[in-house]
Structure 1
């Protein structure tokens, strides 16, 4: 049900089938951003079988090159490392058994299974012991900072790519997502770049048609995929993206506010949304909300410049006072000086 509503992401295998339907050759180099999101290399096997030149940041960069992206870091004290209880020796167990009291006694419980380090990492370390999540440790914060740097690297590669197809965007949370930010940046910098905007509902319907034989689609299915993806590159895709993404995140579709202003006579058509905003087409003047933001910024700049001028005047007055006092002291010294002394 969620898949038919367009709430599920496109899996790597499905993206590979879409690219093959668009007649991309198998030698095409594909960069997969956020490869760990899909659950490991196992789910990437079908996509790698279709396009062997599948790469990500871990295959393009060595571990040393990735660590060079962050500045030298001081070692952290491992205070929160889980240490299992000390194992008792055989002699200690025998002595405790002899001192346990009168017989008959129940047999001692079997020895506990050793607890490994990977079983005490992440939320596994506290979910069975406490009800509240503990504060992140310095090591957790450092790992989160590293993930942000790796995401920034994926973002730069995605923005500069020859073509971009999002696996998942518009999750409905109202917050900007990775794919939405990439689409908005590519639209702002190079509107002519090949950025696919597939409708996940339509794609789910197409895959349901040939779910039994996905690797041998019929010609009609291939033509339908080509038509849908090519339309997502045209004006229809821009209008659909603006209707879907812009009310939730301006950064995912920064047009026409961040585009050049041209007279409305030269515009073939203007499409407006329910709130009156222009979704596609130019504007003769900037929107009202941009005017108010610009006015607020101008007022702040005027205040800052006035404060800077006041500071400069005060500094100049203090300098003049210092120079005057210095000259006065020199004159007094000359009057008191006697050459016969």
Structure 2
């Protein structure tokens, strides 16, 4: 009897344990299904599954970190803002193993830079390379004060002089001034030949037999684009993209204005317009519309149609990288009609912030340069020195997107618009997109020894000498 009671008690305990286990398993299954339902819903909802970090790795440099909500990211068309050439490329400017540090030299080279900001920048880079080839000590260059711009700026007003000297101390010896004992000695005054190669400058070293100082009257385009040693090409890149840093006041204001542009809409286009008085002066235009001026004005009026046809939304922020537009704001009415968020330095900066630069065209151009290099998309309306320099710098910085308009092709398109053969809308957009599908990469250039004057500028496309595959 006692044994039967014990057996019955054990069965009862076992049954209770079994029921408790089944209950616990059921609760676990319910919780699992509940969380699985939420997980599946999240997977099906693209707004909740966007990863801001991975979005930034697609070379939308800056913008993903700045966007405040997943909804903002969802409406960004990455094809409009990213270059197809950015993957797997990086800057590479370190000297090769055979490159030797600069040696002391009692031979000096003085330089008179000519042209505007970007002519001077590339000219200075050329002259550093020439000083290296000829084993000369380079005196800080004098800047052009007699050109159209009539700018009284000296080297230190535009560039960080100390950084320039320190940054290149392994490459070339640089001094601020010619030693006093050499100021009155005879100098070899040279107009070095344009697009000259290594052998030309190696031959020029014969001047050291008679002179201790060589004065270079012009600095622009003194070196060939091609057939130069890799170390010389990389030196030019180190000068242009590192040593020639703008002066602290310019750098500070430029970066501050970039931040203000980001606050306006995260992504922005820098549109470089060449419809300024200096451009018209160089083409011989007068205040009456000449044929050349009329054609430039036509391109200027149609640029809004062009950007819209590429697919950029009306809300896009467009920064005008230019000096004072000839003819004033009315010249931009067609653009602002389609893109109301058009901004200038004057609308981003206060009057006090701009006051120090207001009478120095090269310094204000430097501010435009910074904003253009940092932009998400750069579009030059005219292939001038600024356009080529910014394009090359952006290629150096992971091939940031640059769209160079097919001016000849667009003229035919605009003719059809004027004649009614084509209308704004999907058909125009398809035509323009097809024309510019492959125009954000390096332009085709003549290679080899035939590449001299008519080839693409090395500073417009420093690939492959200064840009390597990862």
Q: TM-score range by the shorter chain?
A: 0.3 to 0.5
Structure whose residues are more often strand by fraction = 2
> TM-score by structure 2 length?
0.34
Greater relative CO (CA pairs within 8 A, separation 6+): 2
